[in-house]
Amino acid sequence: ELEKANMDYPANDFEDGERNRLQMRIFELEAEKFEQQSRIIELEALAESAGARQMELEQDLEEEMARTAHLQGLLNSQALEQQANTEAAAPVDRSVPDVTAPLAADPGRERQERLLKSLEAEQVKVSRLREALVAAEERAQLAEQARQEAEGAAAAAQAAAPLPDSGARGAGAGVSLRDLAWENAGGLGEAVSEKPTLSRQLSAGSKDRLFQAAAADDIDALRAALRGEEDAVMAVLRARDDRGRTLLQVSLASSADEAAKFFLGEGQRWAQRRKFMFQLQGELLERELGRFVNGQDHYGQNALAALCSASSTTGEVLVMLMEAQADPTQRDMAGKTPFIECAKSGNIQVMGALIRASRGGVLADADDANRSPLHWAAQEGQSQAVVLLLKAGADADIADLDGKTAADLARGAG
């Protein structure tokens, strides 16, 4: 009768043990249901992320295929032009040429060879993107399958614990823990839909305050902006501005070191707490943190690239980024790595750290135009970066796709 009236049990009611056991069972079933709903939310986020990644890979693949076709067209045009020039310069009598005579340098052939190398590199990129696309499709399918299984488990738990009859509640009756659980989930006496309605998005005002505070390095404002938001840290990790940048990228681009350390620390603490609560979801949470640290904006740049683009920064932020598994090999839409951004901006402190960490491997970085870090440092007039690169062993004779060395670019830039 008490269950039908949806009233609290008196605190001193120990006589009816069967009813108490039934109430405890109801609580257990509802706790299981909410746990499954939390799992559904996590899996939906994973499926959404996998779907977004799949779309990005499809777009990247399309761009790489177009770039490959363009390079193939240039290569074919170069070959036809070279053949026409050869036929025009050939003697009329078609006599056998003297094979012992030294061959003159042919700029057209050199450009053709460079185009061929670039084409081969683009074909490798296309192959890798195809493999990544297949893997992304498999991850999306697995996430969707797990989400459906979790929804089934949640539905079973809900069926085992029927909803209270809100109309049977008397005026002034107390609200039980069971009612509060349902009210928090979806409204008083209201069943939770298949897709839970719990908010995991920052309000517009909080989002604006966060990005303004991140750029201004205002730690107090950052803490205040987070106050009162539901699942605030998760929302912070996923927040993007109109350029597709995360709060961490905005902080680093604005040389807001304290804000960057704040976000990195909060992200790591959040991941540790969530890993403790959901040990089986540890891999998913690590990926979420990895997407936060290595997420790319609309131009393909990650947080490390934003740090490298700044003219100066503190070593502490760089160490925290590297400990959070920031990827120094990630390339933007033009093929530039974070180390190339360092050379371009003249950030010699981060350059030195990356050279030591990679044991000189970053010196071989090159963008889609085959421009090395030395090319960019020379073109941008970063004399200290040029000296550092040369001392570290950078090759000054490498030519880009236009056949220009770093010295050529330096002369062209004045």
Q: What is the pLDDT of residues 38-94, one digit of tens each?
A: 667 766 666 666 666 667 777 777 777 777 777 777 777 777 777 777 766 655 555
Q: Which of the residues in the chain have pLDDT under 50? A: 1-2, 4-15, 96-97, 99-104, 162-200, 229-230
Rounded to the nearest 10°, the torsion over CA 371, 373, 377, 379 is 0
At residue 126, the 3 state secondary structure works out as helix
Q: What's the rounded Cα separation, in Å, for the pair 153 and 142? A: 17
The backbone torsions φ and ψ at residue 162, rounded to the nearest 5 degrees and listed phi first, read: -65, 155
Q: Give the count of alpha carbons within 13 A of 49, CB side only.
A: 20
**pTM listed for this prediction:** 0.42
Q: What's the rounded Cα separation, in Å, for the pair 40 and 233? A: 19
Spell out the domain ranges in the chain.
Answer: 1-81+116-153, 199-293, 303-413
pLDDT of residue 13: 45
What fold is seen in the domain 199-293?
1.25.40
Q: Cβ distance 6 to 164 under 8 Å?
A: yes
At residue 167, the 3 state secondary structure works out as helix
Q: What's the rounded Cα separation, in Å, for the pair 317 and 322? A: 9
One-letter amino acid for residue 266 of the chain:
E
pLDDT of residue 30: 64
pLDDT of residue 95: 52
Token readout for 58 is 């499809």
Distance of CA 269 to the CA centre of its chain: 19
**One fold for 199-293 and 303-413:** yes
Q: What's the rounded Cα separation, in Å, for the pair 365 and 373? A: 7
Q: What's the rounded Cα separation, in Å, for the pair 145 and 370? A: 43
pLDDT of residue 258: 87
The CATH architecture of the domain made up of 303-413 is: Alpha Horseshoe (1.25)
